Amino acid sequence: LQDVQYEVSQIGATLSFPTKKDDRKYSYADYLTWTDERYELIDGVAYCMTGASDAHNDVSNYLIAQMVSQLEGHKCKLQSSPFDVFFSPIDAKPTDKPTVVQPDIMAICDRTIIDRRGCHGAPDFIIEVQSVPGLKIDFDKVFTWTNV
């Protein structure tokens, strides 16, 4: 990881805080209609996903490369954002899906919970690359994931 270390001062100007779309509650059905920005839904609240910095991408790419070699020969599927993760049954209606997140990196070993829309249930392993402004929303995501 030494090659991908950054000082906060080097990347601070490129970071921005995740913002709520508004105070309404949304579902996956609403989420499917949005084309202007990328969002995550946490308990129906829509958060605009900020663009990743070069440092974020470097760290993510490094970790993905490490995981590819570790997962070789295993049944697990490695995915990275953008890839939707739902904490609702695979056959749930879009209006019954209040939480849709996009972890940075994940491994999913039960391929029966994956379909063309994403992963329906908790991945076996998740990595969320942290940035200082994103910590609040990322902690909210972790709380949601651990209460599934």
| Confidence label for 94 from pLDDT (cuts 50, 70 and 90) | confident
Which residues are within 8 A (CB) of 142 and not within 5 positions of it... i.e. 6 or more apart?
128
Dump the DSSP string for 118-137: EEES--SEEE----GGGHHH
| Confidence label for 78 from pLDDT (cuts 50, 70 and 90) | very high
CB count in 10 Å sphere of residue 122: 16
Whether the per-residue pLDDT at 108 is higher than 90: the answer is: yes
pTM of the model: 0.72
CB count in 10 Å sphere of residue 3: 6
Shortest CA distance to 83 belongs to which of 53, 108, 50, 54? 108
| Confidence label for 3 from pLDDT (cuts 50, 70 and 90) | very low
Q: Enter the DSSP assignment of 11.
A: H
